[in-house]
Structure 1
Amino acid sequence: MELTASAPRKKVVVFDYGFGNVRSAERALAHVGAEVEITRDFDRAMNAEGLLVPGVGAFAACMAGLKEARGDWLVGRRLAGGRPVMGICVGMQILFGRGIEHGVETEGLDEWPGTVGPLKADVVPHMGWNTVEAAGDSLLFAGLPADARYYFVHSYAVHDWELEVGNPHLAAPKVTWATHGERFVAAVENGPLWATQFHPEKSGDAGAQLLTNWINTL
C-alpha cells in the first residue's frame, strides 16, 4: 500500500526517546511514502509535518524517558498548534491521565482523561492478531475491511473512555475498541492527535493502509 509517485513526501519524525521500536516504525513509514527521520532533537521534531511517538515497556519508564527528552513539552506544543501527533502502543497509553502498574501510579500526559490498568484476560499479555470495532466515519481505518486484523502486544489497556465532549476547538473524538478478555480502547482519533494500542508497523497490509491514511491527513 504505497502512495503514488506524484504525491509529495510528507516529513515525519519518529521521536527517539529510548522506548520504542523506532527502526520498525521508520521502515513502515518509508514504505508508504513518507520522508522519515529518527531523532530526539526538539526543533526538528517540532517542525516535522507529522510526529510519531512509539512506546514499549513500562508506562512509568516511558514517561520518565519522554520527560527527559522534553517529549512532554513537544507533544503539548505541537497539539496546541494543531500539528499532528500519533502515539503507538505505550506511546498511546501515556497520552492518558495516569497509568497503574504493579500498584504504582504514574501521571501521564493527560491529553485524554482515563486510566491505563491491567488487562483482565485468561491469557496475558495480549500478544498476536486481533480485529477491532472501528469508530464510525473513521479516517484512520478508511478503506479497511471490518475483519482486518492488527498486531497487539500489551498487558495493560484503557478500559473506559471518559472524555464525553472534548475540546470544542478539536474534532470530536472517534474511539475504536477491541476485545481480549474484556473490551478496551484500541485506537483514538481526536483532531491532530491519533493513537493506536496495536502496532501498525507490524500489522502487514492493514497497518500499511492505516499509516497511509494518517500520512494523507498531514
Structure 2
Amino acid sequence: MHQVIELKGVSKRYGSSGAPALGPLTLSVAKGEALAVTGPSGSGKSTLLNLVAGLDRPTEGAVTVAGRRIDRLSEYALARFRREYIGMAFQFFNLLDDLTVTDNIQLPAQLAGTGRREAAARAGELMEMLGIHKHARAYPGRLSGGERQRVAVARALVNRPALLLADEPTGALDTASAHGVRDLLVDLHRAGQTIVLVTHDLTLAQECASRTIHLVDGHVALDTCARAVR
C-alpha cells in the first residue's frame, strides 16, 4: 500500500541538553488512512505535526511526505510543497477576517497559481459539499465556530492535498459544532482522504480515525487500529 507519510529514525531536540521532544520515531501512514495522535500535553503531538507539515525540521532522521524527502527541501521549496500536497486546519481557524468565505477558501489555490475562475469553481464545490454555500459572501466574523471550522477545512482541501492535517479541530467548539466537525472528518475519511488528526479528545479519535497512536514523552506508547469508522 502506498505510504503518504514515512518517518525513519526521526527525533527532534530543542537546545543541546535533555531528552528529545520527539523520538527517535519510525512511523508510516498509508494512503486513505485516518490517523489520530493523542497524548498528554508535552508528549510530542505538536512536534510530530510540525515535522510532517515541514514547519520544523528533525534533528535526526528522514521525513518523507507524498514521496518527497521534505527535511531536505529549502524553505521556498517547502512552502510550494505545502501548498500543493498538504492541507492544514487549526483549532482557532486562522481565517482572514477581511475576506469573504469564498475568498478565504480560494486563496491557497490562487497562491498555487490556479486561475481565478477555476479556484472559484473549486471553492463552490467545497462549500456545497460542506454545507456552507449559503455563507459564500459572508465574512468569518458573522459565522458560528462550527461554520468557521468548515470554512477552514474547505480552505485546507481546495488544492486537493494528498494529506489533511487537523490540529485540535474541535478544541474551540461547543458540543453541537464539535459533532458537526466530527461527522465531516468521518465523511472525508470515507471518501478516501488521508488525515492526521491531533486531539486530546479520545472520543473524537475513536469516532473519526481508523488508527490511533498515543504519545508519551515523545515515543509511541500505543498503536491501535479501530474497527471500521461508522
TM-score by length of 2: 0.28
Pair member with larger Rg: 2
| More strand by percentage | 1
Q: Which has the higher contact order (CA 8 A, sep 6+)?
A: 2
TM-score by length of 1: 0.29
